[in-house]
Amino acid sequence: MSYILSVGTSVPAYNIKQDEVKRLVEKIFPISHREFHRLAPVFDHTYIKQRFFSASPEWLSEPHGFKARNDLYKDVSLRLSLLAIDRCLQHTQYVTRPIKPEEIDMIMFVSSTGVTTPTLDASIINQRTFREDTKRMPLFGLGCAGGASGVARAHEWLKGQPEANVLVICVELCSLTFQNDDARVSNFIGTALFGDGVAAVLVCGDESNLLNCATGPVPKLSVTSSKTKKDSLSVMGWDVLDTGFKVIFNKSIPQLVHHFWKEHVDEFLKSIDVSADDLTFIVAHPGGRKVLEAYQEVLGVNTFPFKASYHVLKQYGNMSSATVLFVLDGCMQAFPPSGSRSFMMALGPGFSSELIGLEWV
C-alpha cells in the first residue's frame, strides 16, 4: 500500500476573468463577427469564473513560434514547480514538520504542454537539496489523465519499495498552446476551458518513516485501474505545428463517458466493493461542465460528491494533468474522518481512463 501525505499547488501571475478571455478571443481570432457570437455562449456555459495564465493578454495577442512558447514554458514551469514543491513539503496542515528534499527517493514529472531535455525534474534537483541518487521518471503526453496516472504509477512503484517516498509533480501551462490563427471550433472551446497550474503530491510507501509526520487521517491508495479505448486517437491530443501545439478536442467526450467510462467505472467500483451512493465526495478531474454532468449521470448522483471538482473548475478552469490534484487538495483540506472512502478519476488522450481507490486512514 501507499499513502498520500501532502499536496502543494501554484499558479502563474496573470489572473484573468472569463469575460476578459472572451473579449480577447473576439479581438484576435480569425473568425467573423457573426461566427464569434454564434460560439460565444461556450464561454458563458463553462461554469468557469477565472483562470490563471503564464503570459499577459498582450503576449497572447501576438503570433509566436514553438521556440518562444517553449522557452516561456521552461522558465515559468521551473519557478512554479519549485513553489508547489516547497508548499507540498512544508504544508503545516498536512505534515507536523518540513519534509527535506533529500528524503525523497523518486521524482515523477508529468507534463504535456512543453518539452525539455533533460526534463525539468533535472533542473528541480539542481535547485533544491535532492540527493544525487534520486530516481527520475518523466511522463509526457498523458494530458488530463496525467495527474491520476502519475499517482497510480507512484503507488505501483512503491509496492516494491515500501520504505520509499515519491514526489509527483504535474506542470501544465495550457495557455501557451493557444493558437490565435486557428479558426477551428475545438481551438475556440480550448480557449474557453483551459488554464495554467502546477501541483506536487507526496506519496509514501507503507514502511516510510514519513508516515508519522501526518497531522491526521490520510488517503491510502488501494486498487488502480487503467483502460484505453481502441481506435480513439482522434478524441483529444496535440497536432504539433511550427507555431506550437494545436489542440485536438472532440465533442464526443461526454458520449464516451456514458459508454466507455461507464463500463470502466462500474467494473472498478465492483472490484473495491463500493457503491457510488455511499461516496460523500469523489476526487474527479473536471474536464469541463459537460464532462462533470456526464459523470453524475453515469453514477446516478447529484452535484454534491463533485463539490471540490466544481470549485476547482470555477476558480482555475481545466489545467490538464494538475487539475485532479487541485481537487485532491480541496478534498484533503476538508479532513475527512478515518474510514472515508472515495476514488480518484481522470480521462485523457488515448482515449484513456485512470481510476484509483482511496480510503482515509
**Radius of gyration of the chain, Cα coordinates, nearest whole angstrom:** 20
- Active site residue ranges: 144
Q: Are 160 and 204 in contact (CB under 8 A)?
A: no
φ, ψ (nearest 5 deg) of residue 288: 170, 170
C-alpha span between 25 and 37 (Å, rounded)? 11
Residue with cell 481537487: 327
C-alpha span between 127 and 158 (Å, rounded)? 25
- Please, which residues bridge with residue 221 across strands? 2, 358
Grid cell in block for residue 272? 473495491
- Is the bond leading into 118 cis (omega within 30 degrees of zero)? yes
C-alpha span between 143 and 124 (Å, rounded)? 21
Q: Which residues contact 241 (CB under 8 A, 6 or more apart)?
A: 66, 179
Residue with cell 533533460: 118
Q: Count of CB atoms within 10 A of residue 180's CB?
A: 18
